[in-house]
Amino acid sequence: MSAVIVAGVQVRRIALAGNPNCGKTTLFNALTGLRQKVGNYPGVTVEKKTGKFFGHHGEEMELLDLPGTYSLQNRSPDEKISCDILLGQRADTPRPDVIVAVLDSTNLERNLYLVAQIAEMHVPLVVALNMVDLAESKGIHLDLAAMKDALGVEVVPMVATKRVGLIELKQAISRAKVTPAKQPAPMPPVIEAEMEILRGLLCARGRVETARAEALLLISGAEHADPTLDKAASESRKRIRDAGLDPVHDPVEARYAWAQAIVEKSMRHDDAHALTWSDRLDVILTHRAWGWVVFVAVLTLMFVSIFTVAQYPMDWIDAGVSALGEKIGSMMAESDFRSLVTDGVISGVGSVLVFLPQILILFFFIGLLEDTGYMARAAFIMDRLMSKVGLHGKSFIPLLSSFACAIPGIMATRTIENYKDRLVTIFVAPFMSCSARLPVYALLIAVIFPPGQVSVWAKAGIMLAMYLLGIGAAFGSAWLFKKTLLKGETPMLLLELPPYRMPVLKTVLINMWQRSRMFLRRAGTVILALSIVLWALASYPKNPNADATPSEALGYSAAGRIGHAMEPLVKPLGYDWKIGIGLVSSFAAREVFAGTMAIIHNVEYEKKKLSPKLIDSVRADTWPDGRRVFTPLVCIGLMVFYVLALQCMSTVAIVRRETNSWRWPLFQIAYMTGMAYVAAFIVYQGGRLLGW
Amino acid sequence: MAETRLSDIPIAKKGRVEKMTLAPDASRRLGEMGLTRGATFEVVRYAPMGDPIEIRVRGYNLSLRRVDAENIFVEAL
């Protein structure tokens, strides 16, 4: 027995593998509690979740949560990562000592397919048979002894949501000797013979343990770095085809036959055709009419919460940040450094922090929708509409989330497996009018209409038009990209509709916190740096005239000079240098526009409340020749610009992280801002031609 | 002989997969999701806009688009 743990002995590395929706995340959380770390595998945007837990004898173990996949064929990034780790082919992640395959007992046959592939890899295996309570209630009776016998490994019945079976699982993992599955799926004789040839080559290269799995991967068409093996594999494939077999499909069918045989030995289903409550719920939730009603109601609830419930904590954060700025400001002597701390760092970072409540609420809802199984239905319902522009139903939630903020929206694209589809979705998400654009729209609409003259409907109409313009630009661009830059066969939609389940609050909350923390850490560092840069641009060089108004000081600063230098560029859009500064400073975050206008017009700017003074003074602004700057036409053009332009450094930072390169965010800035310029130009010049 | 496609099977009726004329990668993925040659399935419902199609195969529910279902040839049961 290895019950005695000697100091310095390597901790055991355990990996969890399983299909999506098998309860793997719940089990991971139950084992590790909050001792977990979330990051990325270097070079790819696949999430890497690791944690620590204690085995049956109190020994520390390391737990790795492999991405939830249906297969270990190395095609998608998720599959490739899992496959490479299990074969011990990733330098950053050592091969696990034990793999725990988490299976959904209510869906045994398909879940066993993955086990068939794990069995080929010859890794020590423990099977966690999750959701046995649900299986029992569905009339599925499991014969654990028979299953254990058929697989040749420990089989632990579990209910991860209720922590049932955790101790038994730990016992199984802590055993001195955990063995691989007894008998992998037998292949048709012709394929077995070809595998033997490839196995010889692989063993000669030291790949003894994993030879069967690697030989099968090669036969199914996986590429190998070694040309000798590649050549041997393609010859094998040819011989298999000549024998009338299919090198891709026959192994898949053989594994399913293996899974089916185990199911037949170890499972009895009383009434496989009885309607479950989940089936009955689906009759309504995916109904031709009721399905839409529920769908719209769910989304409305989500958005109303994001805009109303989040308002309170947002106000608190806002007030807290202002108070902190004042407090620190009052403790420091008037100096450039004080200005840097209060106007630069605190208000800059604060302007981002204020979105945290919205992000938390959005992720809470997304987690809830995922955990209950409704998310799959939303994709099912929306797929037809999304397919018109070449996207998946799965792109819908990220785009929808972007109405609140593009950052969580872009982070939510991780559920899209196809990389090109994911890129397209990331690319068009910032077109959706986020909450940061609201203050800009609100200010400009107020400037267009003198108070009391126009009904609220006209104002709401303009607002709606801006939202629709953003949606149109997003879908149009998605269509364009699918036709050109990111062309590729529209990937197949293969969407599992898992049974509805009661959500586990802990899973939802942990998920919400992890995603939000990433937002804070990632965007936070970049925001901090750019806030300082923007502050410096707006503060230096100092106006030598000590009595200069804030407006004159800003005009003298680098930002002001940039504004003046930009004037020829923005003049065709009808903008003066002051709007130019507004556009530049808006790159930090769009809502900064209102604050910048306030500084330029020497108006005390109060956040949240649109001060009538600011509106009046913006409306009264004139060119040197006395013409009004903010004509209705300019205001509309400016709003169009804000709808389309990518002016948000947090978004740029997130896109950089999610795509792992600067190429995409830079192209995105050029594309969106270029489109904004052209559209604003057309609005302004076209409007003038029409005599407005 | 008129060939039956998965997309021709009415709701609540069953079929058995015979062959697929999809891209190799697509048919491999379908196979891995359990829709192999010889697998039986039942059409459960269509999405509110008529597409995608939801089927029941190997004890779970899977949805796929009509355009792909048209490339899956089946025997009606």
For residue A291, which residues of chain B lie inside 8 Å, CB to CB?
48
Q: How far apart are CA A665 and CA A661, in angstroms?
A: 8
Nearest CA in chain A to B24: A248
Please check whether residue A220 touches B, CB under 8 A.
Answer: yes
Is it the case that residue B53 has pLDDT exceeding 70?
Answer: yes
Domain presence at residue A611: no
Quote the pLDDT of residue A224: 80
Quote the pLDDT of residue A2: 39
Are B37 and A220 in contact (CB < 8 Å)? no
Using a 10 angstrom Cβ sphere, with 0-12 exposed, 13-18 middle and 19 or more buried, the burial of residue B50 is exposed
Q: What is the DSSP string of A26-72?
A: HHHHHHHTT-EEEEE-TTS--EEEEEEEE-TTS-EEEEEEPPP-S--
Same domain assignment for residues A42 and A154: yes
Nearest CA distance, B37 vs chain A (angstrom): 8
Q: How far apart are CA A463 and CA A494, in angstroms?
A: 37
What is the H or E stretch that residue A265 is in?
Answer: helix A249-266
Q: What is the mean pLDDT of chain A?
A: 85
Least confident of A141-155, A351-365, A372-386, B38-52: A351-365
What is the β-pairing status of strands B4-5 and B72-76? antiparallel
Please check whether residue A168 touches B, CB under 8 A.
Answer: no
Q: Which two tokens stand for residue A438?
A: 């609201």
Is it the case that residue A5 has pLDDT exceeding 60?
Answer: no
Please check whether residue A252 touches B, CB under 8 A.
Answer: yes
Least confident of A184-198, A313-327, A602-616: A602-616
**CA angle A554-A560-A564, nearest 5°?**
145
Same domain assignment for residues A111 and A202: no
Same domain assignment for residues A16 and A159: yes
Please check whether residue A293 touches B, CB under 8 A.
Answer: no
Nearest CA distance, A281 vs chain B (angstrom): 13
Confidence band, pLDDT 50/70/90 cuts, at residue A244? very high
Is it the case that residue A116 has pLDDT exceeding 50?
Answer: yes
Confidence band, pLDDT 50/70/90 cuts, at residue B39? very high
Q: What is the mean pLDDT of chain B?
A: 91
* B31 → closest Cβ in A221, A252, A495: A252
Number of domains in chain B: 1
Please check whether residue A110 touches B, CB under 8 A.
Answer: yes
For residue A380, which residues of chain B lie inside 8 Å, CB to CB?
47, 52, 54, 63
Decide which of A485 and A332 is more confident. A332
The whole-model pTM stands at 0.81
Confidence band, pLDDT 50/70/90 cuts, at residue A672? very high
Q: Which two tokens stand for residue A59?
A: 């020994």
Are A256 and B28 in contact (CB < 8 Å)? no
Is it the case that residue B35 has pLDDT exceeding 70?
Answer: yes
Same domain assignment for residues A146 and A25: yes
Same domain assignment for residues A107 and A246: no
Of A136, A151, A174, the residue that ends a domain is A174
Same domain assignment for residues A64 and A139: yes
Of A238, A269, A300, the residue that ends a domain is A269
Radius of gyration over every alpha carbon of chain A, rounded to an integer in angstroms = 30
Domain presence at residue A318: no
Domain presence at residue A225: yes
Q: How far apart are CA A396 and CA A385, in angstroms?
A: 9
Is it the case that residue A579 has pLDDT exceeding 50?
Answer: yes
Which one-letter DSSP state was computed for residue A676?
H
Domain presence at residue A120: yes
For residue B58, which residues of chain A lie inside 8 Å, CB to CB?
107, 109-110, 256
Q: How far apart are CA A552 and CA A558, in angstroms?
A: 12
What is the H or E stretch that residue A444 is in?
Answer: helix A438-448
Cα distance between the two ends of chain A = 88
Please check whether residue A188 touches B, CB under 8 A.
Answer: no
Confidence band, pLDDT 50/70/90 cuts, at residue B58? very high
Structure confidence by residue, pLDDT tens digits, A456-473? 777 778 888 888 899 899
Of A240, A269, A298, the residue that ends a domain is A269
Counting DSSP H helices and E strands in chain A, the numbers are 31, 10
Q: What is the 3-state secondary structure (H, E, C) of A111-127?
A: HHHHHHHHHHHCCCEEE
B-contacting residues in A 465-494 (Cβ below 8 Å): 489, 492-494
Same domain assignment for residues A88 and A141: yes
Nearest CA distance, A682 vs chain B (angstrom): 37
Same domain assignment for residues A254 and A155: no
Q: Which two tokens stand for residue A532?
A: 């300082």
In CATH, what number is assigned to the domain containing residue A79? 3.40.50.300
Structure confidence by residue, pLDDT tens digits, A17-60? 999 889 898 999 999 987 888 877 776 767 788 999 998 888 99
Quote the pLDDT of residue A8: 52
Nearest CA in chain A to B32: A252
Quote the pLDDT of residue A518: 66
Quote the pLDDT of residue A603: 58
Q: How far apart are CA A131 and CA A141, in angstroms?
A: 12
Same domain assignment for residues A140 and A219: no
Least confident of A140-149, A519-528, A573-582, A606-615: A606-615
Q: How far apart are CA A126 and CA A115, in angstroms?
A: 10
Quote the pLDDT of residue A1: 37
Structure confidence by residue, pLDDT tens digits, A401-441? 787 788 878 887 877 777 888 899 999 999 998 877 877 88
Q: Which two tokens stand for residue A1?
A: 């027995």
Q: How many CB pairs lie under 8 A apart between chains A and B?
A: 112
Give which of A112, A188, A187 is closest to A153, Cα–Cα. A112
* A248 → closest Cβ in B24, B49, B65: B24
Give which of A232, A200, A204 is closest to A218, Cα–Cα. A232
Cα distance between the two ends of chain B = 16
Q: Interhelix angle for A419-428 vs A649-659, to 10°?
A: 180
Q: What is the sign, positive or negative, of the torsion defined by CA atoms of A478, A480, A486, A489?
A: positive
Whose tokens are 């000079």? That residue is: A561
Quote the pLDDT of residue A468: 86
Q: Which two tokens stand for residue A173?
A: 């993992």
Quote the pLDDT of residue A222: 81
For residue A292, which residues of chain B lie inside 8 Å, CB to CB?
48
CB A415 within 8 A of CB A603: no
For residue A393, which residues of chain B lie inside 8 Å, CB to CB?
52
Are B68 and A109 in contact (CB < 8 Å)? no
Quote the pLDDT of residue A522: 55
Decide which of A165 and A390 is more confident. A165
What is the β-pairing status of strands B14-20 and B40-46? antiparallel
Are B52 and A384 in contact (CB < 8 Å)? yes
Is it the case that residue A453 has pLDDT exceeding 80?
Answer: no
Q: Which two tokens stand for residue A443?
A: 């200010």
Quote the pLDDT of residue A351: 66
CB A497 within 8 A of CB A282: yes
Number of neighbours of residue B33 by Cβ within 10 angstroms: 23
Please check whether residue A664 touches B, CB under 8 A.
Answer: no
CB B4 within 8 A of CB B75: yes
Are B49 and A385 in contact (CB < 8 Å)? yes
User: Domain containing B50: what range?
Assistant: 4-76
CB A304 within 8 A of CB A296: no
Number of domains in chain A: 2
Quote the pLDDT of residue A530: 67
Quote the pLDDT of residue A379: 87
In CATH, what number is assigned to the domain containing residue B48? 2.30.30.90
Quote the pLDDT of residue A166: 94
Is it the case that residue A356 has pLDDT exceeding 70?
Answer: yes
Are A497 and B50 in contact (CB < 8 Å)? no
For residue B48, which residues of chain A lie inside 8 Å, CB to CB?
286-289, 291-292, 381
For residue A282, which residues of chain B lie inside 8 Å, CB to CB?
45
Please check whether residue A497 touches B, CB under 8 A.
Answer: yes
Using a 10 angstrom Cβ sphere, with 0-12 exposed, 13-18 middle and 19 or more buried, the burial of residue B24 is middle
Give which of B33, B21, B38, B32 is closest to B61, Cα–Cα. B33
Q: How far apart are CA A401 and CA A414, in angstroms?
A: 13
Q: How far apart are CA A599 and CA A615, in angstroms?
A: 13
Quote the pLDDT of residue A147: 95
Number of neighbours of residue B15 by Cβ within 10 angstroms: 22
Best to test chain A binding among B6, B41, B65 (most A CBs inside 10 Å)? B65
* B45 → closest Cβ in A108, A110, A286: A286
Q: How far apart are CA A663 and CA A287, in angstroms?
A: 43
CA distances from A565 to A49, A165, A532, A572, A675 (A): 49, 69, 22, 14, 21
Same domain assignment for residues A148 and A66: yes
CB A615 within 8 A of CB A443: yes
Quote the pLDDT of residue B75: 94
* B37 → closest Cβ in A249, A381, A489: A249
Please check whether residue A292 touches B, CB under 8 A.
Answer: yes
CB A542 within 8 A of CB A515: no
Quote the pLDDT of residue B1: 47
For residue B41, which residues of chain A lie inside 8 Å, CB to CB?
none
Same domain assignment for residues A115 and A38: yes
Same domain assignment for residues A223 and A254: yes
User: Domain containing A237: what range?
Assistant: 189-269
A373: left (phi over 0), alpha (psi -120 to 50) or beta: left
Quote the pLDDT of residue A3: 40
Cis preceding-peptide flag for B52 (omega within 30 of 0): yes
Quote the pLDDT of residue A401: 78
CB A664 within 8 A of CB A426: yes
For residue B22, which residues of chain A lie inside 8 Å, CB to CB?
492
Using a 10 angstrom Cβ sphere, with 0-12 exposed, 13-18 middle and 19 or more buried, the burial of residue A670 is exposed
